[in-house]
Structure formats: C-alpha cells, structure tokens
Structure 1
Amino acid sequence: MSVAHVHGSHPEIVKRLKRAEGHLRSVVEMIEAGRPCLDIAQQLHAVEAAITKAKRTLIHDHLDHCLDHVIGAIPRAARAPIEEFKAITKYL
C-alpha cells in the first residue's frame, strides 16, 4: 500500500506536465499534417524543456523536503553540500 506523498510544488508540476502533454499532442498533429520539420523540432524542444523543468523542480523539492526530513534541520552554513548537489542536478 502506497502512502500519499504530496508537496506544495506538485500542483505546479502537474500544471506544467499537462501543458507539455497538450503541446505533445499538437506535435503529433503537426507531424500528421505534414508541417515543416523546423516547426516540429521547435515544438518538441518546448515539450522537452517543460518536462525537464518539471523533473528538476520535483528533484529540488525532494531535496528540500524529504532530505531535510531525514537529516533534520541543519544550519544554513552547513547546507553548502546540499546546495551544491542541487546546483549540479540541473545537468541531469
């Protein structure tokens, strides 16, 4: 049995993903309609960027809340490794 795991950022993430889902449907329609490849590639890039942003937000939220829950509140000065880890996740 799974326990609900909801964070304050989840509604925004869902909104982003639903928007990306709509854009992806549009891309499929563009391909089916024979639209130019440049237009399709631009839209695919937008979909990919939206999904990447949603993933990054989810990971950062997890680090901010779940990791803090496990290790406990620590002073800002001691958070440097966590902040560095968060910064490097933008390259995922």
Structure 2
Amino acid sequence: MKQPHTHASHPAIIKRLRRASGHLTSTIEMVVQGRECLDIAQQLQAVEKAIQQAKKALIQDHIDHCLEDLVGPAVKGHRHSLDEFREISRYL
C-alpha cells in the first residue's frame, strides 16, 4: 500500500478547500432561493478565489519540497532557475 503523501501545508490547504465548499453550498442555496444574480456572482467569486488559493499553495509546496527532493540541492547556478520557476508558477 502506498504511503500517504502529506506536507506541513496540507492542513491550511484543507482549511481553504473547506471554506470553498462552504461558499459553494451557500451559493447553491442562494440559487435555489432565487437570490439576486449579483449576490450569487459575489459568492461564486469567493468559491473561485478559495480554490485558486488552495491550488496555488499546493503547487508552491510541491515546488518547495517535492521538486527539490527529486533534483537534490541546487548548485549555485541552478538555484536561480528553480527560484524563478517557483515565482512564475504564482501566475497559474
């Protein structure tokens, strides 16, 4: 059986995803109740943002831990490339 793959950041990511789940549940209920479109759109924005932040945290953590573990300690000239890759991934 495969070992669980966890990182210190996972509790924070879970918290963000639960927040997104709560926002989504609220959004569904708002649509069912016939609430104003502007209110629903704002709630959908909250769902989208929470998921986006969770994704960003997961990707950054992967770069910080998994990728470096795979490649090993970066030599002086390559560290900049890894840092640059990490920085550009923020725009995903």
Same fold (TM over 0.5): yes
Alpha-carbon distance in 2 for matches of 1:76, 1:31: 55
Aligned Cα root-mean-square deviation (Å): 1.5
Structure 1 gap ranges (5+): none
Structure 2 gap ranges (5+): none
What is the aligned residue count? 92
Alpha-carbon distance in 2 for matches of 1:43, 1:50: 11
Classify 1:86/1:41 alpha carbon distance in 2 versus 1 (closer, same or farther; 3 Å): same
Counterpart residue type for residue 57 of structure 1: A
Shift of 1:2: 2.6
Shift of 1:76: 6.3
Partner in structure 1 of residue 37 of structure 2: 37
Aligned identity (percent) is: 54
Shift of 1:79: 1.8
Counterpart residue type for residue 22 of structure 2: G
User: Following superposition of structure 1 onto structure 2, how do residues 1-92 of structure 1 map, counting pairs within 5 Å?
Assistant: 1-74=1-74, 78-92=78-92
Which 4+ stretches in 1 moved above 6 angstroms?
none
Shift of 1:53: 0.6
TM-score after normalising by structure 1: 0.90
TM-score after normalising by structure 2: 0.90
Alpha-carbon distance in 2 for matches of 1:77, 1:52: 32
Post-superposition Cα deviations, 1:21-73, rounded to whole Å, max 9, x if no partner, equal 01100000000111111111111011101101100100110010011111112
Bigger mean CA offset, 79-88 vs 63-72: 79-88
